[in-house]
Structure 1
């Protein structure tokens, strides 16, 4: 018997979260899925009891596609589920990171096919087979499709994954029928939507409250507008945090790529918006930054009109990665988070980014970030951001 609900109730009892009836119902549903996965594993594993169940092995259970507004608790509940479910071959990752990994593997497989190292002409199915061998339960956070490269791969990839018995649990701000809406050649994407609906139960987490916005004890980490006063405040914070007025330019090298860091010191890095979001960086680049540095300073975030879609998309990926890796962010911007990208193709997705930025400015988030970074034994973690260095107010909603 799994214990997602008991873990949820324990957090409520400890005062970490407020009880929510819809969240509690989802916790019960996740418990049922965890139990189904446990039964499936018992029926198929090679053990002294395995033969007793082999003749009536249960079918692969349907996964879950959990969608709803930002800050409703989707990620929290799936985290509880992932920790409780008795599956050894399981993977929990952000959708963008997963797709980045898939594209990289497909690229390598194409090279092997071309060199004659592997037979066949389809690079996607062998990649899917490898993933299926590694993973029986795949939990994807922030499932969204706005890239044609992702859209064209998903159907063939998940056809093979589901055939191999993979179970998908995904969170999203978008109901399945709205994925890749108005995307290029969307008709080619529609078979994937049918496949998804056949293999997951769609659960609408319609909780009424954005719980991130309720966290009102804020640290001063967001400075708007991005004027001289904001730059002085960030300069002052940087000096207090690192012990130096200017960091040292450095480079992060990985897989043949070189990522330039304008300033780095004492586990912190400083970039401009142009450095990180106006250049063709990927989620993998952002992940390397988040894992290398415990704190990121970001100067001069502009308001992003609809025609700045690529920059807005990269900013979304950046914030998602920093958030997932518990990296602290200090930034200056032309406007508060909700006003950075009010219109455009990815404006609905940007609502999640805005909510996360608000949460990343709370003392509670900074404390969690501190705890998580220390739990990973990250070196050079500064214990706190001195309040005296951040005299200008953060965004407060």
Structure 2
């Protein structure tokens, strides 16, 4: 099917983290992609090649010098790009390629993290007595960047759903170009959400300001990276820690930032997150007062969880063990891939105390989740 172009989460300031670049004299993205294929850095994929002209269109338009003059009107910004498709198809890799070659101020950020920052900045604006808290926050973002490059646009929170329309309209009116990846077609964003009719104008804005392109590829590169690879490491020693580090570096592809999940007014921090991959220790997730809602939010947000240092479980850490069971259930039901290090094999993790019988299901799930073919594909 031919891709179709459619027209029609604290008082801190928004940080400039991510990709800010001003590189000059770059080759076209099409040439750079071909160079990486030739060097063996990536494998050629016709679906990826097909969308490269869209990225190049935006890059080239933004690279044109702006003619100055009292009566000259700035040219309209190029249409952005909404690139959607299954997990592991190379959307993030293409986004990285694009952002790295921009010579205008750009920010590369996970959409969920960006919206958390917007809410935090709005809260501070209200604390400062600003009645319309969204306008100055959006205007500040627009002054800082020319391009916003989002990873994994998804709307699951009603507080996000109620402000994104106006937020993006302000950004677009200010000339900000938005490029985003998503696992969902725009029409499926916030699907079945509360008061969704109030959200629908945002979908129209996206279609008007961005080219909508489906990346249709049979290849799941993230899954392939784990294909045949060990994902459960035991015992916990320097060798297993090194293997976990290698998996993290391979999957994340760069420096990470914390991921803050907002669940029923609380904040849950995941220490490291990048490219859909989260990394945390057992005590980060199970040693704190977290529950099913927190784990469900995590499982819905990340594609792979790297969980380190799972201890033996029993009477001495019964509450942590219960949380671990709940965490694994949430990951399993969501189809989230799990890479972990543990004190022993799944069947030997919990061998005494109340809860041993119930843990048999968890051990079985841990075994099943080690299969290279297991996990979600979209």
Structure 1 and Structure 2 fold alike (TM over 0.5):
yes
Whether the 8 Å CA contact 1:72–1:207 is kept in 2: the answer is yes
SS at match of 1:139: strand
Pick aligned residue for 1:135 from 145, 149, 154 = 145
Deviation at 1:213, TM superposition (A): 2.2
Question: Relative to total residues, which structure has the larger helix share, 1 or 2?
Answer: 1
Structure 2 residues without counterparts, runs of 5 or longer: 1-25, 243-260, 311-323, 342-368, 374-378
Mapped partners of 1:99, 1:12: distance in 2: 35
Flag the 1:102–1:56 CA change in 2: closer, same or farther, 3 A: closer
Mapped partners of 2:127, 2:293: distance in 1: 32
Deviation at 1:27, TM superposition (A): 1.6
Partner of 2:28: 3
Please state if 1:70 is matched with 2:87.
Answer: yes
Whether the 8 Å CA contact 2:106–2:146 is kept in 1: the answer is yes
Partner of 2:358: none
Mapped partners of 1:96, 1:211: distance in 2: 23
Partner of 2:112: 96
Counting only pairs closer than 5 Å after superposition, residues 88-237 of structure 1 correspond to structure 2 as 89-113=105-129, 118=130, 121-215=131-225, 219-222=229-232, 233=234, 236-237=235-236
Deviation at 1:29, TM superposition (A): 1.6
Whether the 8 Å CA contact 2:87–2:183 is kept in 1: the answer is yes
Partner of 2:281: 297
Whether the 8 Å CA contact 1:277–1:314 is kept in 2: the answer is no
Whether the 8 Å CA contact 1:67–1:205 is kept in 2: the answer is yes
Structure 1 residues without counterparts, runs of 5 or longer: 45-49, 224-232, 244-275, 343-349, 362-392
Partner of 2:257: none
SS at match of 1:5: helix
Deviation at 1:314, TM superposition (A): 2.4
Counting only pairs closer than 5 Å after superposition, residues 1-397 of structure 1 correspond to structure 2 as 2-39=27-64, 42-43=65-66, 50-51=68-69, 55=72, 57-87=74-104, 89-113=105-129, 118=130, 121-215=131-225, 219-222=229-232, 233=234, 236-238=235-237, 282=267, 285-286=269-270, 288=271, 296-298=280-282, 308=292, 310-317=294-301, 319=302, 329-330=307-308, 340-342=331-333, 350=334, 353-354=336-337, 357=338, 394-397=370-373
Whether the 8 Å CA contact 1:68–1:206 is kept in 2: the answer is yes
Deviation at 1:311, TM superposition (A): 2.5
Flag the 1:331–1:6 CA change in 2: closer, same or farther, 3 A: farther
